[in-house]
């Protein structure tokens, strides 16, 4: 793709990066076949190629974002299925992230949209506030018919029963059982602590059982993905800096072999910290060093000698591939291989490359499209006749749990169970 940025424009980091990305696009349209919103809507502007044209026009002309541009960029799930399909290696992830920064700086959203986004940014990344907001949503459930559209949907999505906070998520060190083979830091996340603390509990049991000393660092928190995908670059950078500093303290205190992330949406962001902080001389090298240690939990487990599966009649598992894992991190076979190695029969649904509609806060900001994608995903999962659904991301887990008719659990919960841990809740 030919671009026409001026030398003055190219002196700005955002424009310079966008120019390099745009020039790789050859207009082939392969991305349209795997883009969930184009598959649903059939609108070129709701495909990666169409959004690339909108972004190019907006940035080349130094134009503030318009309502039309914002509408089509907001509909993007950032699922990154297009990057898996693209034969030219277009870095769509960083292009859409940069465009959203431009939107946040140049476009004033309607009041209701601004308030909703502020509420999400002020609650979800902070477990105590998020828990409080879910309690409020539960109390407000009888009155949801009186609420505006998206708020009504958010209240309906709130779980009826919240698990208690887990002591596992407090800063501490869990010693390895037997011979220590690795020392790792566990990223406990934010929403996951509140919605499914059993995932972190299973992760700690599984890792320590197989020779890992697990450190839950003081000072670590949200990965920053939520605000990052809203274009709030400074807030995302502050979250990244806090985590990098926390992990550096762990490394200085006794070494660090890996940073384990068991929510793949977070993992995609953490692995990109070097890019997120690349323009800050005080943080660029430090962030890149910590990002290089980041591993999805499946990557760490694949390097350990897992105990053989000890279940007598394990349930049939359908594996739902989270977009952030298969497209964002390019991890496709490891979780399924681990499950099969533990004795499970694993099936995969049709259209496994298409998003379930969760996509961070997408199901709250774009509920209609998210519901249509969920219905499509649920139908494909049901066709595999599962007894349990496994996935590697808390967002997908919550999105599907109330619709597939069988338990939805994290992959580590099944692996923990198969190697001596407790039966996951609901199975």
SS3 annotation, the chain: CCCCCCHHHHCCHHHHHHHHHHCCCCCCCHHHHHCHHHHHHCCHHHCHHHHHHHHHHHHHCCCCCCHHHHHHHHCCCCCCHHHHHCCCCCCHHHHHHHHHHHHHHHCCCCHHHHHHHHHHHHHCCCHHHHHHHHHHHHHHHHHHHHCCHHHHHHHHHCCCCCCCCCHHHCCEEECCCCCCCEEEEEECCCHHHHHCCHHHHHHHHHHHHCCEEEEECCCCCCCCHHHHCCCCHHHHHHHHHHHHHHHHHHHHHHCCCEEEECCHHHHHHHCCHHHHCCCCCCCHHHHHHHHCCEEEHHHHHHCCCCCCCCCCCCCCEEECCCHHHHHHCCCCCHHHHHHHHCCCCEECCCCCCCCCCCCCCHHHHCHHHHHHHHHHHHHHHHCCCCCEEEECCHHHHHHHHCCCCCCEEEHHHHHHHHCCCCCCCCC
Residues 86-110, mean pLDDT to the nearest whole number = 97
Between these two residues, 134 and 293, which has the higher pLDDT value?
A: 293
Residues 134-138, mean pLDDT to the nearest whole number = 82
Structure-token match 């384990």, residue found: 260
Residues 75-84, mean pLDDT to the nearest whole number = 97
pLDDT digits (tens, 9 = 90+) for 3-37: 999 999 999 999 999 999 999 999 999 999 999 99
Please tell me the predicted confidence (pLDDT) of residue 80: 97
Between these two residues, 58 and 135, which has the higher pLDDT value?
A: 58
Residues 295-300, mean pLDDT to the nearest whole number = 98
**In this structure, how many other beta carbons lie within 10 angstroms of the beta carbon of residue 138?**
15
Average pLDDT of the residues of the chain: 94
Question: Residue 143 pLDDT > 90, yes or no?
Answer: no
Between these two residues, 82 and 308, which has the higher pLDDT value?
A: 82
Among 1.10.1060.10, 3.40.50.620, 3.90.76.10, 3.40.50.300, name the CATH number for the domain at 7-106.
1.10.1060.10
* Confidence band, pLDDT 50/70/90 cuts, at residue 329: very high
* Confidence band, pLDDT 50/70/90 cuts, at residue 308: confident
Question: Residue 138 pLDDT > 90, yes or no?
Answer: no
Percent of the chain scoring above 90 in pLDDT: 90
Residues 202-228, mean pLDDT to the nearest whole number = 97
* Confidence band, pLDDT 50/70/90 cuts, at residue 146: low
Question: Residue 162 pLDDT > 90, yes or no?
Answer: no
Please tell me the predicted confidence (pLDDT) of residue 144: 67
Question: Residue 152 pLDDT > 80, yes or no?
Answer: no
Domain boundaries 317-418, corresponding CATH code: 3.40.50
Strand partners, 408: 389
Question: Residue 402 pLDDT > 80, yes or no?
Answer: yes
**In this structure, how many other beta carbons lie within 10 angstroms of the beta carbon of residue 253?**
12
Residues 147-154, mean pLDDT to the nearest whole number = 67
Please tell me the predicted confidence (pLDDT) of residue 140: 73
pLDDT digits (tens, 9 = 90+) for 174-201: 999 999 999 999 999 999 999 999 999 9
Between these two residues, 135 and 168, which has the higher pLDDT value?
A: 168
The CA distance from 15 to 56, in Å, is 10
Please tell me the predicted confidence (pLDDT) of residue 243: 98
Residues 71-80, mean pLDDT to the nearest whole number = 97
Domain boundaries, the chain: 7-106, 111-157, 167-302, 317-418
Please tell me the predicted confidence (pLDDT) of residue 147: 66
Question: Residue 231 pLDDT > 80, yes or no?
Answer: yes
Residues 157-185, mean pLDDT to the nearest whole number = 92
Least confident of 155-164, 264-273, 276-285: 155-164
Look at residues 103, 113, 44 and name the one whose alpha carbon lies nearest to residue 231.
103
């Amino acid at each position: 793709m030919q671009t026409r940025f001026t030398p003055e424009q190219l002196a700005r980091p955002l424009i310079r990066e966008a120019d390099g990305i745009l020039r790789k696009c050859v207009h082939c349209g392969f991305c349209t076949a795997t883009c969930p919103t184009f598959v649903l809507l059939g609108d070129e502007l709701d495909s990666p190629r169409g959004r690339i044209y909108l972004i190019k026009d907006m940035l080349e002309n130094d134009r503030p974002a318009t309502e039309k541009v914002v509408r089509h960029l907001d509909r993007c799930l950032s699922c990154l299925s297009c990057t898996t399909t693209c034969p030219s290696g277009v870095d769509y992830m960083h292009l859409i992230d940069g465009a959203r920064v431009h939107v946040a700086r140049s476009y004033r959203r309607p009041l209701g949209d601004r308030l909703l986004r502020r509420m999400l940014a002020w609650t979800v990344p902070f477990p105590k506030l998020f828990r409080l907001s879910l309690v409020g949503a539960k109390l407000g459930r009888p009155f949801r018919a009186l609420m505006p559209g998206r708020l009504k949907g958010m209240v309906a999505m709130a779980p009826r029963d919240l698990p208690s906070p887990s002591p596992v998520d407090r800063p501490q060190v869990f010693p390895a059982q037997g011979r220590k083979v690795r020392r790792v830091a566990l990223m406990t996340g934010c929403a996951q602590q509140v919605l499914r603390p059993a995932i972190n509990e299973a992760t700690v049991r599984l890792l320590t059982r197989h020779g890992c000393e697990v450190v839950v660092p003081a000072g670590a928190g949200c990965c920053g993905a939520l605000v990052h995908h809203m274009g709030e670059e400074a807030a995302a950078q502050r979250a990244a800096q806090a985590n990098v500093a926390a992990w550096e303290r762990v490394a200085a205190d006794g070494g660090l072999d890996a940073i384990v992330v068991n929510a793949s949406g977070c993992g995609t962001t953490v692995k990109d910290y070097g890019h997120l902080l690349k323009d800050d001389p005080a943080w660029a090298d430090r962030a890149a060093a910590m990002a290089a240690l980041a591993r999805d939990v499946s990557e760490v487990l694949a390097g350990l000698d897992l105990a053989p599966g000890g279940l007598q009649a394990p349930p049939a598992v359908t594996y739902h591939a989270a977009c952030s894992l298969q497209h964002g991190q390019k991890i496709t076979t490891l979780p399924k291989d681990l499950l099969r190695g533990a004795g499970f029969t694993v099936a995969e649904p049709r259209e496994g490359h298409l998003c379930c509609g969760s996509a961070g806060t997408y199901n709250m900001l774009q509920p209609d499209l998210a519901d249509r994608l969920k219905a499509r995903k649920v139908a494909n999962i049901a066709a595999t006749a599962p007894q349990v659904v496994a996935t590697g991301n808390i967002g997908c887990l919550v999105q599907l749990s109330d619709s597939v008719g069988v338990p939805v659990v994290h992959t580590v919960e099944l692996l923990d169970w198969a190697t001596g841990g407790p039966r996951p809740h609901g199975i």
